[in-house]
Each structure stands twice: as C-alpha cells, then as structure tokens.
Structure 1
C-alpha cells in the first residue's frame, strides 16, 4: 500500500511539472528493473542485429519513471502496415495497454 502512495505521489509531481521531469536522487525500482532486463539480454551467436540503410531509429520507446505501473509508449517511426501498429505508428499490444 505504501508503494501505491509513492506511485500516486510521483504521478502528481509529473502532472504539476511542465517539463515532465521528476527530480530524483536515486533510480526507482522500475528503472532498475528495466536496466537489468536490458543488460541481461543476450542474443545467441546465430542472431544478429542490423538496420536497413544504417538507420537505427525505427522505434521510439518512452518509459515513465513509474514503469511497472504505467505501460511504456512505443511508436514506430517509419510508416509500416502491421496489424499491431495503428496509422499514427503507435504499437498496440496487450502488454502495453493503458487500462
């Protein structure tokens, strides 16, 4: 229950700050979790990551400071036709739902 109050307090500070920045002294649990997930991501040797024409800005990820409680916003920059991407490029997956 105490954690819920902290989330509500952080959301209130975000709403009051016009820049959307939260003055934080240490990383939140969500930031630590996201950092660990990314650093522990290991691809097998048979998989490679390559970008067409040298571009690496195909997707835009926005993760809020209260990450486990608010879904990240994912947007596809180039226009593609995919059942999980709407006309504005927003990725629509059940794991990213806002409700």
Structure 2
C-alpha cells in the first residue's frame, strides 16, 4: 500500500505543471482571428508562452515591410500583460530603436479580459495610425507632426537599410 502511494506521488511530481497563463493563452490562440497580413511562428513548438508575430502591412507608411514582434506571455497571464518587443529595426514614433513598443493595452490599459487578439489589433493600428502624441521615438514623432512627406521618405529610406 505504501509503495502504491509512493508511485502516485512520484508520478505527480513527474507530471508537468500547467500554469493558468498557459491555459488562457491556449484559449486565446483557439479564438485568434489573424488578419491576412499577419502570421505566427513558434521558435519552440513546445513553448506556447513565447512566439513571434510576423506583420506585413498592406497599407500606410510601412507598406511592404516585414516586422517581427516577439511575444512573451507571463505565467500569471491574463492578470499581467504580455511582453512584446519589435525585433525588426524600425523608424516609428511608438517603437524605439531597441524594439520597445508604446501601446496602451500593454501598459496601464491592460485588463484580464483583453486577449492576444486585442494586442495584435493594437499593433496593426500603430502601423495605420502612428501616435506622435505618446512617442518612444521622439525624433520620429516630431518629424511626423512637422512634415509627413519627409517622415514618409525617412521611413522608406530606413526600410531599405539606410539609417
């Protein structure tokens, strides 16, 4: 009888513990409605808490570009917002040159009812309507406010690798 109890305990300890964040992200992914301009990549297919969103805008200043965003989902998700970082160097008022993303739903507007779909929609919106009033890249924000034509030219140059 004692051996049976020991085996059950051993089996329990060998079983991988699933965090609530993993369960919620699985649900989010099942309900995900990716736009045609976006795809997901899992560098480690066994790790549902880390993935890459590949975004290819079809309109706006960054049309024709390819931008990779790494997502890290904390184990206490959805109580804590995902961590999102742009891995592609980009000239954008709301994304700095180190890849930090200024998106309200990733900061003070995050609520547990929000989903990964909400974050992806917010990222898309940053490409369609960059917000120069809440910038991380102040130079890009000032240029966008002052001269949209020159801003668009600088975006094109930087997308071609001319920094």
Using the size of structure 1 for normalisation, the TM-score is 0.54
Partner of 2:92: 82
SS of 2:100's equivalent in the other structure is: coil
Measure how far apart 1:69 and its partner are: 2.1
Gapped runs of 5+ residues in structure 1?
1-23
SS of 2:27's equivalent in the other structure is: helix
Structure 1 distance, partners of 2:37, 2:93, is 25
- Between Structure 1 and Structure 2, the one with more helix by share is 2
Partner of 1:12: none
Equivalent pair of 2:74/2:80 in contact (CA under 8 Å): yes
Structure 1 distance, partners of 2:95, 2:26, is 26
Partner of 1:39: 30
Partner of 2:141: none
- In the alignment of these two chains, the number of paired residues is 71
Q: 1:49 to 1:57 in 2, by over 3 A?
A: closer
Measure how far apart 1:89 and its partner are: 0.5
**Pairwise CA RMSD:** 3.1
Gapped runs of 5+ residues in structure 2?
1-14, 40-53, 57-65, 110-163
Structure 2 distance, partners of 1:94, 1:79, is 21
Structure 1 distance, partners of 2:89, 2:77, is 27
Partner of 2:72: 62
Equivalent pair of 1:30/1:66 in contact (CA under 8 Å): yes
Equivalent pair of 1:71/1:98 in contact (CA under 8 Å): no
Alignment pair present for 1:30 and 2:21: yes
Tell which structure's C-alpha radius of gyration is larger: 2
- Between Structure 1 and Structure 2, the one with more strand by share is 2
